[in-house]
Structure 1
Amino acid sequence: MARNTKKFHLILDFDGTIIKNNTIPLLDYLRQDQNDISYGSFLDPYLRDYTEHVKNYQPSQEKRVTLQQEYDYLDSLGSVEKRSIERIESSGWLKGLKWTPEENSAFDTAVSHIGHNETLVWRTGFADLVKTIWQSHGMVDILSVNWSGNFIRALLRHEFGGAIDIDRIGLYSNEIDPSGTGRFSRVKWKSQDHFVNHWLRDSDQEDEDSRGIWTAQDKALVMRAVTATSKANNMITIYVGDSKTDLRSIMEADIGVCIEDNIDPTAEQVSLKEVFDRLAIDRIPIGNSLYVGEKRSKDQDQLVYHAQDFNKVRKALLGCTE
């Protein structure tokens, strides 16, 4: 087989995928000195709300037998996420944090403290995979429900800044209001393929349907927008994620890959696997080559791959065929 010359648009989830940690609790390091509110104080109300929502939602998990039913359920969680975000914003957790595109050193300072106090575990092969995509004149983006894209970029810069150009990676996530209100961004759609993050001010009336990048549906909408140009240029879209929030993006990409650790898979990985099993979606280990287009699947393109690290993804992409 000839060496692969295809162009790829690689889109990756961050928490649980590029990094094995959930980094949202580490946003505590961005709190201003006078603030003693911690991320942990938001967990109980969120879990109560989430549990109540799951209990009352119909059809229940075992009765959801189509992808659309699962998509509808995952999108319904937007109401739970919205209430959680509003509780956090009202608490003033990150109030007082100010930044500009030119001066955002607070994020690098926080990451420096994290490096001294926390253990971060990165998934093997990320930098080499990114280099391979760029060498084929492809694109690399990160799409995350994390609450701060600046924070993600600072983490990446701290770990990989000497190996790859972090600023060359597109990053689509929520963000903390730069004016110091402690609020998080909402997505404002200019058109089907164009959106911006914006922040609510005290005088703003929030639209009932206003939301950030919170759910599987939100991620899929953003992915469609950011891949519009690459698809028009016949690039192959690849999405890699680890949780149910990634489900729709995994299924809509030309190549969908779910991250799964062979030993001690996370609760998020197990939950995503349960969906594939329940819906009878083929899920196979990533091999030395991948098929896209007509050969991707025997059944309406309902096939996903799973891999435990990026070295395996990279090797498979190098042998990608149609």
Structure 2
Amino acid sequence: MAPMLSTAGPIHWILDFDGTITKRDTLNTLVNISAQNRPDSNVLAEWKRVSQAYMDDYKATMQNALPKDTHRPSTIASEKLILGITEEVERRSLDRVSESRLFAGLTGTILYEGARRAVETGEVQLRDGFQDFFRHVQDKQHAFHILSVNWSQRFIAACLHASGTVLPQKLSSVYSNELDGTEESMPSSGAIVPSSGNDSLIVSSRNKLSVLSHLREHEQTPIVYIGDSWTDFECLLAADLGICIRDDPMTSTQRTLAESLERVGVKCAHLEEINRIDHSAVFWTRDFHEVSAWLESPALAK
């Protein structure tokens, strides 16, 4: 990590989507789109079932990995081991979702229209300052990618488009997962598969790090990574500058990440302190207004 990153030169921005670009997680919105598309189905009941199965699996796995009297990890290496264990929980969850056919019948058009409605009603909202920040990125012709464990690349792009944000490379700017069939304009089987351009599913911190490393090989400019949750842990540390999004009060996912960083000794000061900190660190910010303020700081534009 390099806190004294110049904002005058090129920057490669890699951002998480849910809870980072958006104010809150959008998974329930994706489920609601499927329920609205099949009003006579049991989509919501199935979603409740697979959600409970996920929570039960996660709790049992964590209790097995970290018994009650065991100390939580205190090093980055040991934290990564725990994150690796949770990856298997996420994969089992995706298998349950695919088998339940929760998203069967959805098409790219249905996803687009559902995302548009969600933005219009305020169900999906971009974080404050994102659009001004994104205009700055475009004006400077900086590289920009979204890296997400979200289940639909097309849904992400549709939410942004409906919010007035058009990605320069459209879908190729988004690394996530996809609903099977939607890439061929066919009704989805409901299976969650790798999106176009990806060789494997993105469900974990390790998967995200693998994509970031791949992008770094092709774009030899400093990387700024922005995220809000535990799955962003490894990317925040691997980037030239890592920025955490934090609300006041913090959400449960933000708090998990904050506790993780603190536990392994990674300091996390507010972004406005970046030119006064003499050690490597991850920084935090409330919104993209504060990121833009950093970008416009004359102290760093050298």
Shorter-normalised TM-score: what interval? 0.7 to 0.9
Q: In the aligned structure 1, how far is the partner of 2:79 from the partner of 2:122?
A: 35
Deviations 1:108-159 (A, max 9, x none): 2112332465533321111111222222221111110000010111111111
Give secondary structure in 2 for the equivalent of 1:287: helix
Structure-to-structure mapping, 1:134-283, within 5 angstroms: 134-161=138-165, 165-168=166-169, 170-178=173-181, 179=186, 180-186=188-194, 196-197=197-198, 212-231=201-220, 235-261=221-247, 263-283=248-268
Aligned to 1:311: 289
CA RMSD in angstroms, aligned pairs only: 2.4
Out of 88-97 and 57-66, give the one that drifted further. 57-66
Q: In the aligned structure 2, how far is the partner of 1:127 from the partner of 1:251?
A: 26
Q: Which runs of 5+ in 2 are unaligned?
A: 1-5
For the structure 1 residues 255 and 321, does the alpha-carbon distance in structure 2 shift closer, same or farther, using more than 3 Å as the test? farther
Aligned to 1:284: 269
Q: In the aligned structure 1, how far is the partner of 2:112 from the partner of 2:275?
A: 38
Q: In the aligned structure 1, how far is the partner of 2:116 from the partner of 2:129?
A: 23
Aligned to 1:18: 21
| Residues 1:114 and 2:100 are matched in the alignment | no
Amino acid at match of 2:117: H
Amino acid at match of 2:55: L
More relative contact order, 1 or 2 (CA 8 Å, 6+ apart) = 2
Q: In the aligned structure 2, how far is the partner of 1:265 from the partner of 1:68?
A: 25
Q: In the aligned structure 2, how far is the partner of 1:297 from the partner of 1:72?
A: 29
| Residues 1:68 and 2:54 are matched in the alignment | no
Amino acid at match of 1:268: T
Amino acid at match of 1:196: G
Aligned to 1:203: none
Q: TM-score, normalised by structure 1?
A: 0.80
Say how many residue pairs are matched.
282
Q: Is the 8 A contact 2:12 2:143 kept in 1?
A: yes
Amino acid at match of 2:130: F
Aligned to 1:208: none
Q: Is the 8 A contact 2:75 2:265 kept in 1?
A: no
Give secondary structure in 2 for the equivalent of 1:45: helix
Q: Which runs of 5+ in 1 are unaligned?
A: 99-103, 188-194, 199-210
Which protein has the bigger helix share? 2
Aligned to 1:78: 87
Q: In the aligned structure 2, how far is the partner of 1:40 from the partner of 1:116?
A: 26
Deviations 1:166-194 (A, max 9, x none): 3446111100001521101147xxxxxxx
Q: In the aligned structure 2, how far is the partner of 1:213 from the partner of 1:154?
A: 19
Q: TM-score, normalised by structure 2?
A: 0.85
Amino acid at match of 2:246: E
Q: Is the 8 A contact 2:119 2:125 kept in 1?
A: no
1:229 Cα offset (Å): 1.9
Residue from 33, 43, 51 that aligns with 1:37: 43
Give secondary structure in 2 for the equivalent of 1:50: helix
Q: In the aligned structure 1, how far is the partner of 2:7 from the partner of 2:161?
A: 30
Q: Is the 8 A contact 2:116 2:158 kept in 1?
A: no
